């Protein structure tokens, strides 16, 4: 049973691959019905599926494919011209075949689909006039290029009149033939001087004893398989006579046929991708540590070595990441393949003439994106067919070609891939879009008036919008484009529309290459950091507070010729403004399709590669947060969801210049112990000396042994201090840094910091003043002097003495 399952799996994978390609081929066939190569290809698919399904006892599928094969076989031999009507039947049968394959995948049987109607139609097409003698067609085969024929199974015997045994025998024969051809090809390659990866076939290896047909013998005498196979091989064998360069030709083409691939479970790739994600995080951390070490041990010799190792690790990690990403890449052609068929069906349904031009189908995208991108593209293309391209008579009247063209192309642009859908239809009418939206209550009249061209185009993505006057089967349910937008944005993609009335519309989807690891701009606001996906960042500008204007209670600024609405990241993420707001701020200009928004931040940290991690079920769905990442220092940084942010920004009123008047509640000091002073010194002795000097005053004293501890105590808010006595030389954080840190906070602006140090140089004093110290006491000092300085600075009331 297991063996059967295994075969079944292989069968399904192969069949689905074949069928996918089939759609495209069939539509092309309709345009060039004479194309034998195509016909042969299609025939082969039907044949392969039939052969395998009969082997696996899928009778319904066999029955269906058999009749398809009949029709195609006729066409192949020129007895039947493929008309659109015949094509409809063939396409219908292929749809049935797909349905059957799906059922087989799900249930392992092919019951439940009625194919009789379709089979009857197929039968009618192929006509009752007896099966054609297959041998007669041999000459046709010969015309076909050598390589093609090499793969060609020879004419189909009449399976109708075969019993089960005979069919099995036939399959066996075909298998043998295939093997022989493989060998022949290999032999040809050897002849051409190519190395063959597998062991070269030895004469003994040839073993197909069960074959009913006489098994072919040795390689040197390749042309042994029955029927037309020799035709295929003869040219190759003739090759050695030709000059060396000529030999290359078949040899070069050969590798394409024997693609060296391994099928890998996607789960394994996903796991690999996760591991790489961890590695990238570790690399970021390593770089950070390297920087720290560099700073601390400047000039040390080992630094250079460390530097080298770190750069090698980071280089290899990046390469590895790209390599793994590549293994997950699929050509977008996998998605594009289904569109020719779709367009064809649509043109018949809508009575329009539309041609689809596809380019860049080899462009590669991450597997998960390829899977997600299909539906949005279907919607957009359907929309272009339905609303974009006009009816043939309208087109003629407008002086256009009767046949409309839709161009679907994909290409790389930086770290993203762009999928562009252009049509040469009637274009978007801005006024109509606006009127319609106002009518449907999507926007107000006022909004419509102030709308730019791009914003108006973007209206088609609004929920509840549909431009088609009549709702057709194809589109007009008013959900399509809205869903497109959501889906693309889910992939961190951007949609851009351009349109010219009467000339056509162009929709551009810009999608990141991969989902898991992205480039981000790290920004700081107060004490927090946020990561903004770089794909949405257009530019950053440094501004002063005066450049921010308020219009209708919204903050705006002038960016070159534009007015850019602004929002402070702190307002969106409810950040407490505890730090002093400096003169300057930075504006990160975010772009999402046609929308632009300026996000005010306090500082720009830099660009970093980040790995997106989910916040988990407990915190999922928090507006404005797309996920989190772990930074080089091990901390967690939230990733901004630009899409959500854009909509959240609308609800935020101007607060940029909001008064930071943190209400200072000052309690009346009623006794000496109401005063609180912090003593910061790393030496226990020094702390004790200070304590002894101040204790007689009766005030409260708190000690800290270094700057970091002092800062933590201060920030914890447990005590409210009236002054701090700060030593300069301290481990972890020295006195200057401590003072600088403290002065960043608004509420500590007026907290007296008194330096107590043995450093007496003028420059030391200068530094002290710069960092915000107001007094400078040099050791040694007298107890009275210290007490008097403290009393002066905390406004100590003399009556407490």
Task: Please confirm, yes or no, whether 47 is among the known catalytic residues.
Answer: yes
Binding mask 204-223 for another protein (x = CB under 8 A): --------------------
Binding mask 278-317 for another protein (x = CB under 8 A): x--x------------------------------------
Indicate which single residue of 81, 162, 398, 622 sits in contact with another protein (rule: CB under 8 A): 622
Alpha-carbon radius of gyration of the chain: 38
Task: Please confirm, yes or no, whether 274 is among the known catalytic residues.
Answer: no
Q: Which of 542, 651, 535 is nearest to 598 (CA)?
A: 542
Indicate the residue among 190 and 615 with the shorter CB distance to another protein.
615
Catalytic choice (40, 47, 177, 609) = 47
Indicate which single residue of 624, 632, 707, 735 sits in contact with another protein (rule: CB under 8 A): 624
Indicate the residue among 278 and 664 with the shorter CB distance to another protein.
278
Q: Which of 352, 363, 420, 360 is nearest to 385 (CA)?
A: 352
In the complex, the smallest distance separating the C-beta of residue 564 from another protein, rounded to whole angstroms, is 23
In the complex, the smallest distance separating the C-beta of residue 635 from another protein, rounded to whole angstroms, is 6
**Should residue 651 be labelled a site residue for another protein when binding is judged by CB under 8 A?**
no
Q: Are the C-beta atoms of residues 229 and 181 closer than 8 Å to each other?
A: yes
- DSSP H stretches of helix in 78-145: 84-107, 116-126, 138-143
Indicate which single residue of 616, 651, 761, 780 sits in contact with another protein (rule: CB under 8 A): 616
Q: Report the C-alpha gap between 285 and 278 in whole angstroms.
A: 11
Q: Which of 386, 284, 308 is nearest to 343 (CA)?
A: 386
Indicate which single residue of 169, 211, 378, 615 sits in contact with another protein (rule: CB under 8 A): 615
Task: Please confirm, yes or no, whether 69 is among the known catalytic residues.
Answer: yes
Indicate which single residue of 625, 725, 738, 739 sits in contact with another protein (rule: CB under 8 A): 625
CB crowding 507-545: b at 16 or more within 10 Å, else e = bbbbbbbbbbbbbbbbbbbbeebbbbbbbbbeebeebee
Indicate the residue among 405 and 700 with the shorter CB distance to another protein.
700
Indicate the residue among 117 and 636 with the shorter CB distance to another protein.
636
| The one segment of 124-132, 431-439, 453-461, 566-574 that binds another protein by CB under 8 A | 566-574
| The one segment of 329-337, 480-488, 617-625, 655-663 that binds another protein by CB under 8 A | 617-625
Under the phi-then-psi rule, with left for phi > 0, alpha for psi from -120 to 50, and beta for the rest, what region is 558? beta
Instruction: Please list every residue from 687 through 716 that binds another protein, using CB under 8 A.
Output: 716
Three-state secondary-structure class, residue 245? helix
Q: Are the C-beta atoms of residues 200 and 256 closer than 8 Å to each other?
A: no
Q: Report the C-alpha gap between 344 and 774 in whole angstroms.
A: 82
Indicate the residue among 345 and 528 with the shorter CB distance to another protein.
528
Total number of residues that touch another protein (CB under 8 A): 27
Indicate which single residue of 21, 44, 353, 613 sits in contact with another protein (rule: CB under 8 A): 613
Q: How far is CA 358 from CA 419, 511, 546, 622, in A?
A: 11, 18, 51, 40
Q: Report the C-alpha gap between 528 and 533 in whole angstroms.
A: 17
Indicate the residue among 258 and 575 with the shorter CB distance to another protein.
575
* 333 Cβ contact partners less than 8 Å away, ≥ 6 residues apart: 361, 362
Indicate the residue among 563 and 636 with the shorter CB distance to another protein.
636
Indicate the residue among 191 and 615 with the shorter CB distance to another protein.
615
**Phi, psi (rounded to 5 degrees) for 34:** -85, -10
Indicate which single residue of 151, 194, 294, 528 sits in contact with another protein (rule: CB under 8 A): 528
Q: Please give the distance of CA 237 from its chain centroid, rounded to a whole number.
A: 49
Q: Report the C-alpha gap between 592 and 92 in whole angstroms.
A: 41
Q: Report the C-alpha gap between 222 and 189 in whole angstroms.
A: 13
| The one segment of 63-71, 477-485, 625-633, 662-670 that binds another protein by CB under 8 A | 625-633
Q: How far is CA 290 from CA 196, 497, 517, 632, 635, in A?
A: 48, 45, 22, 11, 17
Binding mask 473-512 for another protein (x = CB under 8 A): ----------------------------------------
**Should residue 68 be labelled a site residue for another protein when binding is judged by CB under 8 A?**
no
Indicate the residue among 274 and 307 with the shorter CB distance to another protein.
274
DSSP codes of every residue in 455-473: HHHGGGGSTT----SS--S
Indicate which single residue of 572, 646, 656, 714 sits in contact with another protein (rule: CB under 8 A): 572
* 521 Cβ contact partners less than 8 Å away, ≥ 6 residues apart: 531, 532, 534, 537, 540, 588, 604, 606, 607
**Angle subtended by helix axes 2-31 and 84-107, to nearest 10:** 160
In the complex, the smallest distance separating the C-beta of residue 273 from another protein, rounded to whole angstroms, is 14
Indicate which single residue of 40, 179, 284, 637 sits in contact with another protein (rule: CB under 8 A): 637
Indicate the residue among 116 and 274 with the shorter CB distance to another protein.
274
DSSP codes of every residue in 324-388: HHHHTEEETHHHHTHHHHHHHHHHHHHT--EEEEEE-TT-EEEHHHHHHHHHHHHHHHHHIIIII
Q: Report the C-alpha gap between 220 and 206 in whole angstroms.
A: 12
Indicate the residue among 442 and 644 with the shorter CB distance to another protein.
644
| The one segment of 344-352, 636-644, 699-707, 731-739 that binds another protein by CB under 8 A | 636-644
In the complex, the smallest distance separating the C-beta of residue 270 from another protein, rounded to whole angstroms, is 16
Indicate which single residue of 630, 646, 728, 742 sits in contact with another protein (rule: CB under 8 A): 630
| The one segment of 345-353, 549-557, 608-616, 701-709 that binds another protein by CB under 8 A | 608-616
Q: 550 is written with which tokens?
A: 């308020």
In the complex, the smallest distance separating the C-beta of residue 550 from another protein, rounded to whole angstroms, is 24
Instruction: Please list every residue from 712 through 771 that binds another protein, using CB under 8 A.
Output: 716, 718
Q: How far is CA 586 from CA 534, 547, 743, in A?
A: 16, 11, 21
Examine residue 57 and say whether the peptide bond preceding it is cis (omega within 30 degrees of 0). Answer: no
In the complex, the smallest distance separating the C-beta of residue 419 from another protein, rounded to whole angstroms, is 32
**Should residue 525 be labelled a site residue for another protein when binding is judged by CB under 8 A?**
no
CB crowding 287-319: b at 16 or more within 10 Å, else e = beebeebeeeeeeeeeeeebeeebeebbeebee
Indicate which single residue of 362, 393, 561, 574 sits in contact with another protein (rule: CB under 8 A): 574
Catalytic choice (73, 176, 383, 793) = 383
**Should residue 634 be labelled a site residue for another protein when binding is judged by CB under 8 A?**
yes
Catalytic choice (24, 40, 66, 69) = 69
Q: 558 is written with which tokens?
A: 């002038």
In the complex, the smallest distance separating the C-beta of residue 637 from another protein, rounded to whole angstroms, is 7
Indicate which single residue of 46, 628, 786, 789 sits in contact with another protein (rule: CB under 8 A): 628
Q: Just list the catalytic residues.
A: 47, 69, 383
| Chain contacts with another protein (rule: CB under 8 A) | 278, 281, 528, 572-575, 613-619, 622-625, 628, 630, 634-638, 716, 718
């Amino acid at each position: 049973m297991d063996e059967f399952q295994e075969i079944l799996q292989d069968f399904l994978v192969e069949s689905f691959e074949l069928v996918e390609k089939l759609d495209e081929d069939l539509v092309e066939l309709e345009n060039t019905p004479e194309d034998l190569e195509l016909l042969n290809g299609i025939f082969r698919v039907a044949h392969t599926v039939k052969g395998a399904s009969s082997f696996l006892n899928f009778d319904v599928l066999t029955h269906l494919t058999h009749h398809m094969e009949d029709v195609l076989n006729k066409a192949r031999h020129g007895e039947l011209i493929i008309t659109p009507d015949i094509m409809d039947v063939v396409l219908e049968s292929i749809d049935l075949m797909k349905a059957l394959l799906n059922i087989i995948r799900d249930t392992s049987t092919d019951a439940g689909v009625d194919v009789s109607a379709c089979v009857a139609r197929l039968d009618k097409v192929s006509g009752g006039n007896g099966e054609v003698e297959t041998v007669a067609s041999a000459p046709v085969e010969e015309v076909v290029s050598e390589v093609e024929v090499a793969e060609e199974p020879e004419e189909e015997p009449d399976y109708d009149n075969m019993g089960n045994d005979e069919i099995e025998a036939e399959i066996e024969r075909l298998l043998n033939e295939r093997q022989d051809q493989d060998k022949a090809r290999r032999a040809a390659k050897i002849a051409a001087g190519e190395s063959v990866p597998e062991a070269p076939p030895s004469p003994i290896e040839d073993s197909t004893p069960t074959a009913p047909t006489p098994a072919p013998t040795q390689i040197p005498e390749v042309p042994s398989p029955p029927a037309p196979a020799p035709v295929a091989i003869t040219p190759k064998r003739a090759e050695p006579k030709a000059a060396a360069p000529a030999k290359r030709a078949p040899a070069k083409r050969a590798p394409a046929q024997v693609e060296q691939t391994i099928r890998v479970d996607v789960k394994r790739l996903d796991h690999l991708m996760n591991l790489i994600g961890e590695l990238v995080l570790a690399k970021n951390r390593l770089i950070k540590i390297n920087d720290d070490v560099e700073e601390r041990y400047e000039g040390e010799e080992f630094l250079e070595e460390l530097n080298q190792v770190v750069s090698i690790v980071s280089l290899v990690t990046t390469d590895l990441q790209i390599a793994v990403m590549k293994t997950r890449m699929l050509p977008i052609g996998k998605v594009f393949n289904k569109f020719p068929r779709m367009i064809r069906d649509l043109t018949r349904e809508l009575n329009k003439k539309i041609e689809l031009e596809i380019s860049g189908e080899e462009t590669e995208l991450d597997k998960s994106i390829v899977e997600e991108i299909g539906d949005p593209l279907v919607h957009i293309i359907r929309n272009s067919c339905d609303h974009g391209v006009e009816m043939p008579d309208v087109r003629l009247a407008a002086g256009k070609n009767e046949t409309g063209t839709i161009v679907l192309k994909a290409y790389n642009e930086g770290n993203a891939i762009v999928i562009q859908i252009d049509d040469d239809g009637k274009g978007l009418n801005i006024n109509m879009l606006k009127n319609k939206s106002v009518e449907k209550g999507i926007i107000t009249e006022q909004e419509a008036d102030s709308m730019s061209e791009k914003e108006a185009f973007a209206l088609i993505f609004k929920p509840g919008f549909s431009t088609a006057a009549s709702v057709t089967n194809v589109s007009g349910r008013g959900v399509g484009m809205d869903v497109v937008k959501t889906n693309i944005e889910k992939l961190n993609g951007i949609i851009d529309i351009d349109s010219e009335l009467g000339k056509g519309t162009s929709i551009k989807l810009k999608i990141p290459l991969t989902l898991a690891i992205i480039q981000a701009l790290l920004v700081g606001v107060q004490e927090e950091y946020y990561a903004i996906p770089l794909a949405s960042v257009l530019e950053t500008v440094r501004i002063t507070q005066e450049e921010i204007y308020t219009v209708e209670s919204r903050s705006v600024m002038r960016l070159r010729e534009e007015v850019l609405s602004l929002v402070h990241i702190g307002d969106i993420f409810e950040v407490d403004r505890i730090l002093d707001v400096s003169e300057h701020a930075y504006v990160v200009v975010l772009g999402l399709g046609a929308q632009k928004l300026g996000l005010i931040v306090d500082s720009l940290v830099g660009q970093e590669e980040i790995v997106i991690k989910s916040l988990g079920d407990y915190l999922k769905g928090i507006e404005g947060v797309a996920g989190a990442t772990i930074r080089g220092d091990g901390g967690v940084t939230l990733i901004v969801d630009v899409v959500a942010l854009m909509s959240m920004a609308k609800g935020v009123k101007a607060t940029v210049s909001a008064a930071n008047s943190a209400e200072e509640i000052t309690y009346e000091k009623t006794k000496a112990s109401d005063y609180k002073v912090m003593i910061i010194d790393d030496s226990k002795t020094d702390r004790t000396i200070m304590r002894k000097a101040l204790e007689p005053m009766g005030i409260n004293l708190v000690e800290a042994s270094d700057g970091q501890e002092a800062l933590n105590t201060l920030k914890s808010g447990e005590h409210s201090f009236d002054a701090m006595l700060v030593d300069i030389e301290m481990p972890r954080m020295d006195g200057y840094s401590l003072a600088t840190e403290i002065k960043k906070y608004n509420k500590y602006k007026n907290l007296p910091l008194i330096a107590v140090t043995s450093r007496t140089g003028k420059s030391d004093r200068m530094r002290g003043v710069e960092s915000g110290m107001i007094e400078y006491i040099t050791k040694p000092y007298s107890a009275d002097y210290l007490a008097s300085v403290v009393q002066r600075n905390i406004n100590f009331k003399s009556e407490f003495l």
